[in-house]
Structure 1
């Protein structure tokens, strides 16, 4: 709060040179808020800014009296949040402020210096602008800290929203389907049904073991598109027979589905492609490592050489990597498992570890390298791509629910601190 007053005072000194009486008027205290104040200058500056924005956007504002009430209340809440931040020891560093301002400049497609010049050209002191940014960051951070702890999102809420999101998404999905029908006579006997089901299962076996679906369809399908290789083309889930729609729901590209029984016989479907579906895939790695931490006795060079020697011994068949990890690795989570880290998104690792894995082929060993944890050697065991669509749905649903609850709780929290505060409007403002 002291910094805010200093910045405002510096700005007012500039105004004093132009008009001493106006400066005195603007410099007076308008509202007392606990041990802090809102100055008349702050109210007038915000009102002028809002009026300028309204003109630029072609909007109409209420009367000055009504606008002043809204502006004053906002500034009171801002002071209260700054006071709360001081109480819990929350501080925004100069680096955070500079990073935010640089981001603002980048979003506007200008340099930082151009932004500074634009602020000055608009009649605002740049240091005051930086202080406003600091206060805004502080208010956001203190709200996040105090409100987040009041929010609980239940698994049931997430599941319900995920179901709704999936249902909405399905309305936009289209499937490119292949279809094979193993037909039945109009009044099939038990033997007819059994034989047809066996033929349908044989079709599925052929397709799953690499036979071309369209070739199999031409040779064995009784369906209307048999000569086209069973190609039904693109269909929305609402356009296809309900029997097919139920079967393809939540299935993936390339899946072979069936046999599905209907009055006409046994159906086999293949999903050639899907469009309109939001899918998320993540690359994962399975690796194992040995970690050695340098000490007063064990220098960096000794740790590095020790690990490189381990790798040479393993490559020569003289030592077993898993046994070395169990005996020497100082990573308690993986040492007992022979150094294995299990399947993981490489982004979860520190940059040096992630970058080293990126350079390895499955089965290869790295040379010794250093991270914040110590010295490592790592072997990449496998890579794979996982479908993370379900996790993405759950994360999205959680964020949506959390954000809704956060906004509700933030309003409640602001009302609480406002009700508990001492606020006195000074004079006839």
Structure 2
């Protein structure tokens, strides 16, 4: 069976290579052979193309120059970028199997939001990207891929992460006793991975590499450069930057070692289930006063199916909006009669909540509404919605903690580790073959 599988995969590789280069062999008698593109990696039944790698290298190089950031060697950067594109391909294929789609309307709405965040119209946003050398159609499709990838990650992690009521109670209790709630830490992270089910020899080898990295850092080597070169963590291409976090928002293993330490300190190797972590305390600051907004809303959800198409679901909700705006229908009654999901019995009422806990498309829709406003139909990972904002209030998150915020902190803390473990499992189950360029 394994021989047959390998034969099939090799056949696939040859077929893919042949299809990409076929043009060359049919024109050799008329012109010099020119390679249009090349398969850089086979990933299950998909491929990573050389052009994709070159495009991402160009994008990262341009961004590094803007930020005056030193990049690792071309070879090391290529390895990290190829690895990222392999991960993207695996997640994209999983999204296809799960039936995840982003419609053109949803994509255009996302791009419009991105433009609005930059104080631009969609047209001026498009022109600015083109002026920077971007291919707008490629950029647009990359945004679609990122949206699908985000939905796949969220759906997969939601099934893997459980937070008990006791965990929330414990966190709230701890935070009431803490004296360092007003401090935030910026962390850098390098992960030296070992394989699944590692032998003692694998563990020893990974630890030796991690200790060598710490030695280089302590002798003055650049953390960002080493992270981009050597880290197996999800933030490798960002130089291992984990951003600003309070002591409660970072993984427990990290919070225990950085509390009370000086800026610039390097810690590790720290053994985790994925390998050995090296952490740098990049900076410390007083926590910014954070005000969080809670919203009260209600919605009607229509889930497309084989019987009910995407277009019909959207049209059905648009009809409801017109009835509501004309005063011909009651929102709660429409929700009870037509909405899918558990909120239907409550007339679609979602109660008070931090909008950040909702699907991104849903929270963005709420952000654009005035009180009592009804948003036009939009697509989220759950289906098609209309939503009405019925209330908005502001809370001081630095002094007031509630169970919703505690739940979000615990979720974020677990999500980083669980996301890496999930992706590692996907890679272990995948067929991956990197096709090296000919060495001259």
Q: TM-score if structure 1 supplies the norm length? A: 0.45
Q: TM-score if structure 2 supplies the norm length? A: 0.44
Rg (Cα) greater in structure: 1
